[in-house]
Amino acid sequence: MNVLTLTETTLNRLGVDKAAWSAGDLAIDSPVTGERIAQVKANSADDVARAVAAAKAAFDTWRQVPAPRRGELIRLLGEELRASKEDLGRLVSIEAGKSVSEGQGEVQEMIDICDFAVGLSRQLYGLTIATERPGHRMMEQWHPLGVVGVISAFNFPVAVWSWNAALALVCGNPVIWKPSEKSPLTAMGSMAILKRALDRFGDAPEGLVSLINGCGDVGAALVENRDVALISATGSTRMGRIVGPKVAERFGRSILELGGNNAGIVTPSADLDMTLRAVAFGAMGTAGQRCTTLRRLFVHETVYAQLVPALRAAYESVSVGNPLDSDALVGPLIDAGAFEAMQAALVAARELGGVVTGGERVSVAGAEDGYYARPALVEMPQQSGVVCEETFAPILYVMKYTELNDAIARHNAVGAGLSSCIFTMDMREAETFISAAGSDCGIANVNIATSGAEIGGAFGGEKETGGGRESGSDAWKGYMRRATNTINYSAELPLAQGVSFDI
Ligand code: UN1
């Protein structure tokens, strides 16, 4: 079956109206074969204004629905996602080029966050605080925040929306979603699934969740709208530099999940077989197009000669191919631009003395217009230039180190601060790496690579990664406003800090 037919059958099965994806002006090409699979109807800035007004009205109702009842909507969404997992996962493979297993895994991540959010709907706890005044009680409540705008990227076209939407809805907020202009179809599929959950739920207000497709103009309209209380944006640091200040300028709140230049350290005591497998998935999985992809590796000089040739062999032999009709581990890059950026980075690395294995375009039968590339392993004499930047492609820069402290310093010496890892069997090294003096990232792992985080932990990073946290732990607090309440149940009026003010 060709990709176009597969797209049409999958969208039909998901319940997406053909008129919305067949006659618009936003052209969508599948990275799998490069062929045009849809013409999506793009929205306008006026549509954004209308969606925000409807969401604002929905907020008045939704914030008063008891949180456990709001959780019921997400429970139903989880059920509907389970029922449509195969179809939505396939659509992720068609639109983002992921392997079948990774496409299905992305939908599983949506199901997992729904389960998490359902439990959370009964656990939006505030503290009770001891007060210094007799006959008083002090406590905090977490209240719904307002309209939440979600801007997501092509590489996790649906999971990132679900992290935000499941939490935001349980927290009492309406959600407006602006997906990447490269992945509107999976967004439309997700909305069709959500609609089934909303129908079963029964009495959710109109405008509670909406989708805005289009390019930067509609994104900007969402970011600049003063009625959008929170913008949660996932994408490049360049995008975050525009979005962050715009939201801050109107005193809105933002959660930014931006670029990563994630690194690992392989110490002398590392289990090298496990390290090899972990590095392979972290660096080559999803064709290097995760924000958590492993991009730099510091290998101790005593194990370099053992590990690096084995890695080179893995890069030379890893299967690259059509994710829809093979079980290749590495699928296509998203488009020609991504391939060109990869080539430019490799040229720059060579100029700095890098020795490159792989990196060339791979021709895949029946998919000649897809941009498939053999992942590249680049042995670098030092960390400089292009190594310090994120290139959204499967390139792993490998460097030698002698002293752990020096490796940690080089590890931290880049702009991004998302994910990191160390491979070691030495407790001192492991604990040092995850200590305050170790990795400066939001995620620091031991004996697993940088990507593939579970939803239960808070997800996000520091520095140029933007500082936001999504998904598990107490990330929900970012979607609510905190009110501190002091209640005087005495007949006196004692003032704090012993101040007297007798009139
Ligand atoms: C992203 O690439 O934007 O940790 C998100 C991971 C996935 C999420 C990646 N759970 O690799």
Cα gap 486→488, rounded to integer Å: 7
CA torsion 340-343-345-351 (nearest 10°) is: -140
Q: Pick the closest to residue 305 from 408, 400, 395, 382 (CA basis).
A: 400
pLDDT in tens, 331-371: 999 999 999 999 999 999 999 999 999 999 999 999 999 99
Q: What are phi and psi of 412, to 5 degrees?
A: -85, -5
Question: Which value, in Å, is the radius of gyration of the alpha carbons in the chain?
Answer: 24
CA of 315 to the centre of ligand 1 (A): 22
Q: Assess whether the C-beta atom of 465 lies below 6 angstroms from ligand 1.
A: no
| C-beta 155 within 6 A of ligand 1 | yes
pLDDT for residue 330: 98
Closest CA to 231 of 201, 253, 200, 259: 253
Is any ligand 1 atom within 6 A of the Cβ of residue 418?
A: no
Q: What does the pLDDT read at residue 293? A: 98
The count of other CB atoms within 10 Å of the CB of residue 126 is 16
Query: How many angstroms from the chain centroid is the CA of residue 343?
Result: 25
* ipTM score above 0.95: yes
> What single-letter DSSP state applies at residue 451?
S
- Domains for the chain: give ranges and CATH numbers: 3-258+466-484 (3.40.605.10), 262-446 (3.40.309.10)
In this prediction, the residues of the chain whose per-residue pLDDT falls under 50 are: none
The residue whose CA has the least distance to atom 3 of ligand 1 is: 291
From the CA of 74, how far away is ligand 1's center (Å)? 21
- Mutation choice for ligand 1 from 101, 152, 445, 459, CB with most ligand atoms inside 8 A: 459
Residue 483 is predicted with a pLDDT of 98
DSSP lists the bridge partners of residue 322 as: none
Q: Is 180 in the pocket of ligand 1 (CB under 6 A)?
A: no
| Atom of ligand 1 lying closest to residue 459 CA | 4
CA distance linking residue 259 with residue 236, whole number of Å: 5
> Tell me: the pLDDT tens digits for 54-68?
999 999 999 999 999
Quick one: which atom of ligand 1 is closest to the CA of 290?
Answer: 2
**Residue 136 CA to ligand 1 centre (angstroms):** 46
Rounded to the nearest angstrom, the distance between the alpha carbon of 164 and the centre of ligand 1 is 13
124 Cβ inside 6 Å of ligand 1:
no
452 lines ligand 1 (CB under 6 A): yes
Report strand pairing: 416-417 vs 462-463.
Answer: antiparallel
Atom of ligand 1 nearest to the CA of 451: 11
DSSP 109: H
Using a 6 Å cutoff on CB, does residue 290 contact ligand 1? yes
Reported as type and span, the H/E element at residue 459 is strand 458-459
User: What are the catalytic residues?
Assistant: 257
